[in-house]
Amino acid sequence: MRDRLARIIGLCLFAVAFFLPAVKDSDRGISYGGWYCAAITLAQSMPWANRGIDLNGFVRGIPFLIDGWVNPLVIIYLAFVALHLANVEFRGSKRVRRVVIYSALICVIDCWVVMAVCDLVPLVGHFLWIGGILLMITPEFFDLSTMHLRSSAPRALEAMIRVRDQGKS
């Protein structure tokens, strides 16, 4: 149950992030939304589509070729998760899911490289996007159903009340 909840919350964060400002160009002060960033990075990652964009040589252009594939890889991962939840398993399905999500995480790291090179500052949409991806993939690596939720909040609250009451007497 916790696995599905984590994935649902992650998917919601992931989806909402596309409607929020994702990055800001520090030179010009212009903010770009998540949808715009996703479309531009995917278009730049397709060499046949970006004939007018100079990638400054092949090696320097590699990060720009990779970063646009995060969202498609996350969608592919979710398709494999849906098959898993529908009990449609095939040999090596867990390995395939993990390879896809590792590839997406490499693309996320590459996005940070591109952001640094282009002087882009991450905004709330970017952080929600990353958080959504991480929540969606958490059940792949951790068994949330066996994790015990520890809450020290009630004990801390009791201690604060005791300190407050001692101060009054």
Task: Return the domain boundaries, the chain.
Answer: 2-168
Least-confidence region, from 27-41, 59-73, 110-124? 59-73
Task: Look at 121-125, 136-140, 146-150 and tell me which has the smallest mean pLDDT.
Answer: 146-150
How far is CA 126 from each of CA 34, 70, 73, 108, 162, rounded to the nearest angstrom? 7, 12, 17, 10, 42
pLDDT greater than 90 at residue 37? no
Question: What is the rounded CA–CA span in Å between residue 38 and residue 22?
Answer: 10
Residue 148: pLDDT above 80? Answer: no
What are the phi and psi torsion angles at 49 (to 5°)? -95, -15
Average pLDDT in the 48-59 region? 51
Give me the residues paired with residue 25 across strands. 120
- Residue 44 confidence (pLDDT): 76
The confidence band for 27, taking pLDDT boundaries of 50, 70 and 90, is confident
**Average pLDDT of every residue of the chain:** 82
What does the pLDDT average to over 71-82? 92
Report if pTM > 0.85. no
Number of separate helices (H) and strands (E) present in the chain = 7, 3
